[in-house]
Each structure stands twice: as structure tokens, then as C-alpha cells.
Structure 1
Amino acid sequence: MYAKLIVEGRPLHVYGLHLKSNLGDPIKNTSKREDAVEQLLGHIKDQCKAGEPVVVTGDFNTSKEQLNLAGDRTLLKLEEQGFFWAFEGVPLKDRITIPGGGRYPDACFDHVYTRDLGRPVAAVLKDTPGSDHFPVAVDLLQGAAKNIYQPGEQ
């Protein structure tokens, strides 16, 4: 999903993703996620002028912690293009977006990446009904971002 919003007279580009799950062949799944992010970055390059803020958010189905996903460069591809991860510095216990169960560990698969919006800090809204994933919240102000994460908050 892509939307170009006009906020206070300035464009804000917003992308919502749901990348390939981890069910099936791990190598093919990783390749599909990485290909999708490369396509996304191409669209951003075509649609967004330099200095225009961009938000990329959604279920990436990959995390920085899980050893079985260590070769997945999906998140790194965004960071290499100047995107800021809104969970930077937040401990894993405070950014679990999908609780583990059975053979799956707790995971942070839902992410918010921003460019040209400062260094916003996201928070997980735990125990929110309606999905097997918890929602992620972040306050964005064009040109500055408000830190809404408070250590130990639930």
C-alpha cells in the first residue's frame, strides 16, 4: 500500500507492507522479501523527491534477533538507504510484536522505518485484541519526532 499525504502543505510518503511469511522454503522466502524491498526502494526513488519524508511500516516477517533469519538482508537494505529503524535501542522484551508459541519464539516482525523524520521511537501496544500481532505506535512530526517509548511501559 502506498499513500502520498499532504501534511501542513508538505508531502509525506507512507508505505504499508506485508512481506512473505516464513512458512515453506526459508531461502525462497528470504529472497522474496529482499526482492520486494528492492522494488519498494525503486518506487521510493521514483516517487519521493530528496528531503521528502517517508514512512515504511508493516509486517516484514523478519527480525534482527532470530538466528534462522541471520542471512536475511531485508531490514539492512532499508537502513543502507538511509532509513531509520524506530525500534533502535529498544530492548527486544519491549518490542515483541508477535508472541511466541509452540516452536516459534517471541519475535519483532512488525517494524516502522522512517527517512527525513528524525529519530522517532516506536512502542508496542501490548495486549491489544484483534490480531495475532500487536500494533506498533509512533508519533511523527515532520522535521522532528517525539519519543513515545518509555522503558518498562506495557
Structure 2
Amino acid sequence: MPNKAETYVVGNFKGGVGKSTTVQMLSFESAFRKDRKTLVIDLDPQGNTSDVLSLTAENFGNDTLPDEFDATIWEAVRSGDIQSSIYQIMPNLDLIPANISFSDFPDYMIEKYPGDKLSQFGYMEELIEPLKNIYEAVSYTHLDVYKRQF
């Protein structure tokens, strides 16, 4: 069985503290300098990490990314198919892009699993778990916690 990916979660209750920048730099360092297969999952509805990594793709000559991502973290959550939301940014660096609708995630989980807190809190980990056998590092940009959480 392959080793499971190291997982890095960058989050804070406040905006503007460097969550996106930290994930961008850690993931680039992991993929480019350390030559590790790295996945970034952008959970911030603002999508700054997705925007910056799209520019990174252009700088590395990747002109295959769409102007707008058709498959994002929100589509992955709703469909249960996370693999179809992965875009290659550069060798060793992939992205599951953000979507503004992801701000509805807490309400969606309550609706999907009414009264089942364990499933509400465990859904995302269950969705991402298979990817940890494919990648060496998985980094998350966490959204600011600004609305009711479960």
C-alpha cells in the first residue's frame, strides 16, 4: 500500500492573515523544489489560491486551463466525484479550484445529513481520503468562518 499524503490545513477565523499565500507557497515548494506530487484544495469561496495558481500555470507554459473552471470543489462535494475536479497546474502540482457557492457547504451538509453530526463533519474527509494514496502532499486553503457552522 502506498504511503498516505502529508496533509496541511491552513485556516483561521479571520481574513487577511495569509492563509492563501501560505498554501500557495507551501504547495509550490513541495511540487517544484521538493519534487513531490502535490494537490491543493481551495476551500475559500473567494478563490484567491485558485486565481494565483492559474497564473502559475500560465507562467509554466500550461495553456490548457479553462478561463473558468467547470468542475470545482462545490461540484465535487455535490456529486461525490472529486477526481473530475482536479486540474494540473504544472508537473507535480494539481488544483481542485474554489467556487463561491462553497460558502453554502455547512447548510448543504445539514440538509444532506439532517441530525447526523458525525456524517456532516466527516463527509469532506471521506471524499478526500482516496486522494491521499495518489499524492505525497495535500494542502487546503480554509475559508474564513463567518457563518453558522453545522
Fold similarity call, TM over 0.5: no
TM range (shorter): 0.3 to 0.5
Give 1 or 2: higher helix fraction: 2
TM-score, reference length from structure 2: 0.39
TM-score, reference length from structure 1: 0.38
